[in-house]
């Protein structure tokens, strides 16, 4: 007698159990639900199995459905990261190959050039160095509000929105405290309007700060106040007022 299920049988059993949890434990009011952050921690396997949140998920259809979606999103992000890494390796290999060809083989002009010395008093023109195409900029969102709530009416506290220049930017975004590493989408837009500039990049945690480095063009956007929005791919948007000068 076999003492283990085959991979196909194990998958079928898991699907059957998931079907039961998804339909037999309705909780429309989400009573006792641990919240999205705890479900994300369960998906990342950073909470021990003895934590009562695991038992709750097994008896709550809405939490089980949300956890399933979070796991699918994490899987998609891992696939995107793997594909981007493979593509970068292929590009690096191609650049290295063609660079070696260029070094080891003279150009047509060099092959036709006579081997006579440069005449006395002559000079070889030197092209001026090319200037950088992108301007380095920093957008500090570390103290952005955890929730997207408006400033209370009549409040005397005035916080000046952060500024970025109008240019082709090599932009480093310091995300709010507690933000996770991974792939992010960003947009610059007027409130409730379509995006004026978009970008996608991978954030990393450096010295306790989650930093997102992206290339973004703002040179075609008029100076003024805008909304800078960001989100982990397949999650909800967050936003912060900014000024483009």
The CATH number covering residue 196 comes to 2.60.40
Q: Are residues 24 and 101 in the same domain?
A: yes
Q: Are residues 57 and 141 in the same domain?
A: no
**pLDDT value, residue 6:** 66
Q: How far is CA 104 from the centre of its chain?
A: 40
Angle between helices 61-104 and 7-24 (to 10 degrees): 130
Q: Which CA distances in Å does 38 have to 33, 44, 81, 92, 167? A: 9, 10, 24, 39, 40
Residue 125 lies in a domain: no
Query: Within 10 Å of residue 65's Cβ, how many Cβ atoms?
Result: 14
**pLDDT value, residue 241:** 95
**pLDDT value, residue 238:** 94
* Tally of CA atoms within 13 A in the half-sphere of 73 that contains its CB: 19
Q: Which CA distances in Å does 36 have to 29, 40, 42, 90, 245? A: 15, 6, 10, 37, 37
Hunting for tokens 């909470």 — which residue is that? 47
Hunting for tokens 């989650």 — which residue is that? 210
**pLDDT value, residue 196:** 95
Residue 3 lies in a domain: yes
Contact 213, 161 (CB under 8 A): no
Q: Are residues 139 and 89 in the same domain?
A: no
**pLDDT value, residue 243:** 96
- 184 strand-pairing partners: 201, 232
Please give the structure tokens belonging to residue 78. 């891992």
Residue 95 lies in a domain: yes
Q: How far is CA 31 from the centre of its chain?
A: 32
Q: What is the dihedral of CA 58, 62, 64, 66, to 10 degrees?
A: -150
**pLDDT value, residue 14:** 58
Q: Are residues 171 and 77 in the same domain?
A: no
Q: How far is CA 210 from the centre of its chain?
A: 11
Q: Are residues 141 and 91 in the same domain?
A: no
Q: Are residues 6 and 70 in the same domain?
A: yes
Q: Are residues 104 and 1 in the same domain?
A: yes
Q: Are residues 85 and 187 in the same domain?
A: no
Residue 156 lies in a domain: no
Q: Are residues 93 and 5 in the same domain?
A: yes
Q: Are residues 44 and 98 in the same domain?
A: yes
Q: Which residues of the chain have pLDDT under 70?
A: 1-7, 9-22, 101-132, 145-158
Residue 119 lies in a domain: no
| Domain that includes residue 212, residue range | 135-145+161-244
Give percent of the chain with pLDDT exceeding 90. Answer: 39
Q: Are residues 96 and 6 in the same domain?
A: yes
Q: How many residues does the chain have?
A: 245
Number of domain units in the chain? 2
Residue 128 lies in a domain: no
**pLDDT value, residue 148:** 44
Residue 238 lies in a domain: yes
**pLDDT value, residue 1:** 52
**pLDDT value, residue 97:** 74
Buried b (16+ CB within 10 A) or exposed e, 95-111: eeeeeeeeeeeeeeeee
Residue 118 lies in a domain: no
- Read off the pLDDT of residues 107-162 as tens digits, 9 standing for 90 and up: 555 555 554 454 444 444 545 444 458 899 999 999 876 444 344 445 444 678 99
**pLDDT value, residue 145:** 61
């Amino acid at each position: 007698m076999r003492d283990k299920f085959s991979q196909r049988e194990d998958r079928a059993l898991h699907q059957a159990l998931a079907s039961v949890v998804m339909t037999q434990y309705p909780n429309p009011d989400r009573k006792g639900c641990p919240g999205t952050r705890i479900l994300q921690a369960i998906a990342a396997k950073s909470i021990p199995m003895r934590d009562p949140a695991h038992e709750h998920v097994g008896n709550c259809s809405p939490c089980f459905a949300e956890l399933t979606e979070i796991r699918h999103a994490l899987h998609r992000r891992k696939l995107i990261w793997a594909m981007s890494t493979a593509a970068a390796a292929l590009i690096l290999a191609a650049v290295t190959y063609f660079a070696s060809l260029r070094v080891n083989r003279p150009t047509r002009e060099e092959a036709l050039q006579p081997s006579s010395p440069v005449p006395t008093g002559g000079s070889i023109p030197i092209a001026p160095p090319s200037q950088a195409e992108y301007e380095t900029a920093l957008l500090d969102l570390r103290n952005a509000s955890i929730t997207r709530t408006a400033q209370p009416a009549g409040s005397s506290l005035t916080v000046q929105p952060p500024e970025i220049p109008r240019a082709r930017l090599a932009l480093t975004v310091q995300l709010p405290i507690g933000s996770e590493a991974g792939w992010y989408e960003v947009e610059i837009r007027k409130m409730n309007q379509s995006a004026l500039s978009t970008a996608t990049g991978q954030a990393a945690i450096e010295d306790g700060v989650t930093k997102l480095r992206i290339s973004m063009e703002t040179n075609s956007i008029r100076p003024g106040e805008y909304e800078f929005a960001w989100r982990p791919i397949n999650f909800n948007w967050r936003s912060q007022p900014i000024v483009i000068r």
